[in-house]
Structure 1
């Protein structure tokens, strides 16, 4: 049975650290620590920051969902601005912004987005190596 953690934050930059803390806590509760937790938290920070920064719907809520199913973890960040889909941007060396989705593309096993009737969702998937080992059935059983 998958484990899921879902929460919402107001579309305000000051709430991004709260999202990061909630994600870190959920991962720790599931035993996801170390480098995988750091990577997932970093990418969640990028996706939440993008939603907060680029959503053009006033007084919106950004929804974050983590789903852990065996060794697979899916991170989803949704907002109600379904018409403005994320685009991968190749930043120049002197640009200070615009590398978030490049990080997601480089560090997640897969990522993408989907339009739903009243929102868009940007997602990233990860396979957790230590959970893959932990879920393996010992030989001879």
Structure 2
């Protein structure tokens, strides 16, 4: 560095990108292992939509683009995670009573998981996974979310008030990336 050049100032966002972030998780869960590749910034995305079924595909496209371009996830993981997002969002549209739904997605710096949250702003009892029969027309959403999230090595659930559904999905396929 020459005398004319100066070091860039360190601010809170710069400092954040060099610190280890910890995801919110239950006390008894083990934090995810550190990344084996660098992620420069968390690049979070927040989306607020009207509770309208036609908005699900718009959000799905945004999430797919984010996972491909920011997270550089492989296509199979992108498609599986996009289906999880679609199901979480479809449930919020169908069962929520608020006027809007908020979706947030982020990868915390130096972790290897994306966190997706769908908030329908409707506190309610926490739903349970159902096992629909072959002729049932509905009731498969949470089963799909559970199956796909498990297959991807992640986990999912609801906040205690039932208004926010969340999932953690590893960016890469790894035998030791399963979150317990």
TM-score, length of structure 2 as denominator length: 0.65
| Residue 130 of structure 2 is aligned to residue 85 of structure 1 | no
Which residue of the partner structure matches residue 147 of structure 2? 106
| Residue 169 of structure 2 is aligned to residue 129 of structure 1 | no
Runs (4+) of structure 1 exceeding 6 A deviation are none
Specify which of 24, 41, 46 is matched with residue 82 of structure 2: 41
| Residue 27 of structure 2 is aligned to residue 27 of structure 1 | no
Which residue of the partner structure matches residue 113 of structure 2? 72
Specify which of 38, 52, 63 is matched with residue 102 of structure 2: 63
Which residue of the partner structure matches residue 135 of structure 2? 94
Specify which of 12, 15, 22 is matched with residue 55 of structure 2: 15
Distance 1:103 1:29 in 2: 25
Whichever structure has more strand as a proportion of its residues is: 1
Distance 1:96 1:62 in 2: 24
Distance 2:93 2:125 in 1: 13
| 1:84 Cα offset (Å) | 4.3
Distance 1:44 1:72 in 2: 15
TM-score, length of structure 1 as denominator length: 0.82
- Give the number of equivalent residue pairs: 127
Whichever structure has more helix as a proportion of its residues is: 1
Contact 2:97 2:120 in 1 (8 A): no
| 1:112 Cα offset (Å) | 0.6
